[in-house]
Chains A and B, each alone.
Chain A
């Protein structure tokens, strides 16, 4: 194997005293601290590191940074596994366990490699053309198995993530020469400066080319006050100066324990300096994807930073001036540089690749030998497509096709690009909003010019002064076209997506002229690398095949994220119990002690029922409902929505908000009301009680209180600002204990409730303010179950005391606690609707029996005009009805459709609520039914999963239709 370690001082990042064991595809290896997985694999002579996406071709390490196309690995085990990690940026840590992707059964013997033989029938767009007959879904499962790269963990990620927001004056993205110069100047000018370095140390390329200077520069920037964050990669620029960055805190080292893994930085900056460098552009030639073909700059970086010589005999395939510097660098590292093959006819004079290196100008590579690793190449003149090729022996091909500035952040900020013909690159066309590019990402490659420009820009942004003029870009000349005319074979443009020149040519032939369409048709520029190395070559090729200049073809839009970011980073701590925190009852412990079975209802964590030993939820709810009808029950109604509406115009305002009239209530009276939105649709319902002339106690549904309060506020602030009132949500301020049943009052009286609250003294639908043992109460007589019912609102911290006192006397009144399930049974027996269960986004008040309420009210109210629309007056609307199953035994399934014929057919409605009634000993149901009001007595058919259940339309309430039970036992 030809790749090997170089002695110090090669390997500026390495700590050779610290040996780091790791494994790759089940084999154990050793690297040094400071290695990346890619550098350690290279140092260990591992050439074959992955299989390509489509053709399963053998691939090796190609690059030394975020632009790596080929060496993607799955890292970690089990729930900790992280797919498609980039080996070239993955820091080597002891115990790291990585496996290659997209191969089966193994990397060397890959079954999917048969695709490479089928390449002729797998051109761009072959999915669209081939798998449409008779139906894509026939092929989908097997294609999905073949496609894709890494495997995601199939368990929830145990690691933790977090988020931090900061504000700075000047944010510098990139800590290379230009970035550090800009940061130092900005900090010296008094700005709060933060610098983000993607890797473990600042310095960028300077860190391995001139480590001493890099250290000094970073230290001087810090002395000036700039803060440098390492392992923090800015992946997106968003609106109003927001930059998001990901900080890596630990790599997956195989430790099976949860750790804080990544941190999302949300940085709001007054100005952003992009100093993100440039990507080297690869040359396009046949089999330019073989392991052993690498970016020339990467070969240099592996030598200098990681002390790895990627080969012994190198051929440099080039079309630019910088290749000659690279050639000299590689020779310094002890590699034999056989030749610089320059695609340009006249390789620039004065450029010296170093002694012993041939320059073959006007030529390109026409073949690469070696399948799982380069063993040589053939070179021929571009002018002589039929001419004889010369064979060169080599084990490494360094590809140097010029540079593409990393203009991603500039593009995220909406910046435009300018094509430079001589350099063959897109550069930022001036600043983009708050983003100013400096250094290589601005197309300024000359170190002195870049440093000077960066300093001036940093100072100007810190002081809010005019920006300095853009220096002339300078990397020397490069040629847009990298490919050799007439070359045959797979010449890859996009290694990660297996897009070759033939695919681009096909797209051009089929008239895909827009580069955006080219991207989607051929998939070039997609995947984890997002075309960092393929973008320019693809658009140059498209231009060539469609007879246009690169500038006319343009480039695809770069969008965040710049690199793949784990979902965990975005989610942060908003996961599990914190995803949408539940609202908890003030006396939750009391219910736990009673054996409550908790469930989530409208984001509240509340008792569904209190099962006794041997009972399931259904049995418990049946028992509880029966107990409420027979004796008494108590329910924790604390989630009930509570609004305090106060002010001289409170009554006038509530008249506008509710279908019912509120202003005619006398103090102490309460009334049921329905809230509509402006479309006339039922949004919420509840009870409004008047406490005083200018104060109302408004109960909304438990789930709807935020929505309703927000709607009230919007109407008040935006549409009726002249009305004088305040709306205060007080739901969490008051506990609510609802005591219901024929013996409810006796039970309350037994713990000392004031006789003024007795049913004889206090009528149904009234509210009294009272005190109990020094506790102020708002006691509402309202009933959602049809029994005598007291809703006792009290300061939230007294809830438990009331529950305890009641419970101490419960046995005497055969009283039970009851949960939501029992309440649903009780209210369905009474035919009371539940907004959101029996109603949906189409339900108008007329559909739920409120037509007369609307007609009787003279004044306007929210939604009223919409109730006059033709659709609202349609006689065929669905209206709420009660249903009995025809056999008196079968429970009608909720959601089941009603229609004369089995589906597929037009529905006439559906079952909305359905329970077995313990009171009647048979099932009862509510439904929305077309023309339901005029169909009482009619037999209808309910369809459920192929079953037909006959039912009869009837009238609610099912229980106590005369309402005799409302005052209790007396």
Chain B
């Protein structure tokens, strides 16, 4: 069970949270092609390494926030507001070369 630092409430156990999957996805406009829409709707990267994802402190304050997690070690590199880009430390960490679909 991970220990996650909620942006409002501080460190709490994982079972207070729900994971909403990959963050920083851009939804294509209504006029997007079927292919683009399907890409957005059904396909996600499954990296071995750094993954930017969004979580909600569902059993707490209710806030959604972003989290940068290493998918092998579960190390949480950063926690940052939902509306923000990843902090520099995360941007500098390259996703693993083994990252693949």
Contact = CB atoms under 8 A, between A and B. Distances in A.
A723 interface: no
25 contacts: A239-B1, A239-B3, A239-B74, A240-B2, A242-B1, A268-B3, A268-B13, A414-B73, A679-B41, A710-B18, A713-B56, A714-B20, A718-B20, A718-B82, A719-B27, A721-B82, A860-B30, A865-B30, A865-B32, A865-B37, A866-B37, A866-B41, A869-B34, A869-B37, A870-B34
Interface of B: 1-3, 13, 18, 20, 27-28, 30, 32, 34, 37-38, 41, 54, 56, 58, 62-64, 73-74, 82-83
B26 to A, nearest CB: 10
A864 B3 contact: no
B62 A713 contact: yes
Contacts of A414: 73
Nearest to B58: A710
B55 to A, nearest CB: 11
Nearest to B18: A710
A864 B41 CA distance: 13
Interface residues of A, number: 26
Nearest to A719: B27
B64 A713 contact: yes
A717 B63 contact: yes
Nearest to A706: B58
Contacts of A239: 1-3, 74
Main secondary structure, interface of B, reads loop
A647 interface: no
Interface string A234-272: 000011111000000000000000000000001010000
B54 A718 contact: yes
A418 B88 CA distance: 37
Contacts of A679: 41
Contacts of A840: none
A414 B70 CA distance: 14
Contacts of A157: none
A889 B82 CA distance: 58
A797 interface: no
Given A679-B41, A869-B34, A869-B37, A238 B64 contact: no
B1 A240 contact: yes
Contacts of B73: 414, 433
Contacts of B83: 721
Contacts of B27: 719
A16 B66 CA distance: 62
A965 B62 CA distance: 44
Given A717-B56, A865-B28, 14 more contacts: A238-B1, A239-B1, A239-B2, A240-B1, A240-B2, A240-B3, A242-B1, A268-B13, A678-B41, A710-B18, A710-B56, A717-B82, A718-B20, A721-B82
Nearest to A729: B62
Contacts of A719: 27
A714 B64 CA distance: 7
Interface in A696-740: 710, 713-714, 717-719, 721
Nearest to B38: A869
A165 B1 CA distance: 12
A870 B33 CA distance: 11
A718 B81 CA distance: 10
Contacts of B1: 238-240, 242, 266
B9 to A, nearest CB: 15
Interface in A159-190: 165
B37 to A, nearest CB: 5
A725 B11 CA distance: 28
Give the most central of A268, A864, A865: most B CB within 10 Å: A865
Interface in A425-468: 433
A241 B54 contact: no
B94 to A, nearest CB: 22
B53 to A, nearest CB: 12
Contacts of A721: 82-83
Contacts of B41: 678-679, 866
Interface string A862-894: 001110111000000000000000000000000
Nearest to A709: B62
Contacts of A713: 56, 62, 64
A239 B71 CA distance: 12
Contacts of B2: 239-240
A719 B27 CA distance: 9
B64 A242 contact: no
A677 B78 CA distance: 29
Q: Which 8 A-B pairs have the closest CB atoms?
A: A240-B3, A717-B64, A239-B74, A239-B2, A721-B83, A718-B64, A242-B1, A240-B2
A397 to B, nearest CB: 45
